[in-house]
């Protein structure tokens, strides 16, 4: 049996494997999770609601599998829309179940309901949002009424006094959490990490 180095990690499966791919060096060769063909740096994604996975895929697989009636995959169409007018009062934010200032909110068709997802050094953590609290947020912000389940999210940045809100495709959320998971240092993440997070949101605003 081949010996492993002390720092070697076994290949991850499920959502953490997706984050590993998003955080991988751009020099690495990405391959379609469905057919194995090589992918460009900018490529398609499919969401698998039942497992909460995000798959990297080629255009042919994205079209084929998302077109299947009652299929297991949903195509993630790229989207990034700043929402400068969106209002999240501090009192309501406190009821949304997020203990940090950085999170995204996505409606999960399985098991159902809105989930708050926020980063940690170990990967994403999820917390269910009470239906009445999400309804209050939507009532005050009509733009959230047609947020597409499983593939779109409300991304919120309240770190360092910021009040940034974006309607984004789910791949952008995974990109952010992959960045945080792989670059976190110490107890607070470290200045290099937060500089990277700042650049990420500056790019979204731009």
**pLDDT tens for the 206 residues of the chain, in order:** 333 333 434 444 555 556 566 655 445 678 999 999 999 989 999 999 999 899 999 999 999 999 886 778 999 999 999 999 999 989 999 999 888 899 999 999 887 899 999 888 778 899 999 999 999 999 999 999 999 999 999 999 999 889 999 999 999 999 998 899 888 988 888 999 999 999 999 999 88
pLDDT value, residue 20: 60
**DSSP-assigned beta bridge partners for residue 46:** 55, 75
Taking a C-beta distance cutoff of 8 angstroms, is the pair 119, 15 a contact? no
pLDDT value, residue 24: 54
Phi-psi region of 106 (alpha: psi -120 to 50; beta: other; left: phi over 0): beta
Spatial neighbors of 162 by CB under 8 A, at least 6 apart, are 101, 201
């Amino acid at each position: 049996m081949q010996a492993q180095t002390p720092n070697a990690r076994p290949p991850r499966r499920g959502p953490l494997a997706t984050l590993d791919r998003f955080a991988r060096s751009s020099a690495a060769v990405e391959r379609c999770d469905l057919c194995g063909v090589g992918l460009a740096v900018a490529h398609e994604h499919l969401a698998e609601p039942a497992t909460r996975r995000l798959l990297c895929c080629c255009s042919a697989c994205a079209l084929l599998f998302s077109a299947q009636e009652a299929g297991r995959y949903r195509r993630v169409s790229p989207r990034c829309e700043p929402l400068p007018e969106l209002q999240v009062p501090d009192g309501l934010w406190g009821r949304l179940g997020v203990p940090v200032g950085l999170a995204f909110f996505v409606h999960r068709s399985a098991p159902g309901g809105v989930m708050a997802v926020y980063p940690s050094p170990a990967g994403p953590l999820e917390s269910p949002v009470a239906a009445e609290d999400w309804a209050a947020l939507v009532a005050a912000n009509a733009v959230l009424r047609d947020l597409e389940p499983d593939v779109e999210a409300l991304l919120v940045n309240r770190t360092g006094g910021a009040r940034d809100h974006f309607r984004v495709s789910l791949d952008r959320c995974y990109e952010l959490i992959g960045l945080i998971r792989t670059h976190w240092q110490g107890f607070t993440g470290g200045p290099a990490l937060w500089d990277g997070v700042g650049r990420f949101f500056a790019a979204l605003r731009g």
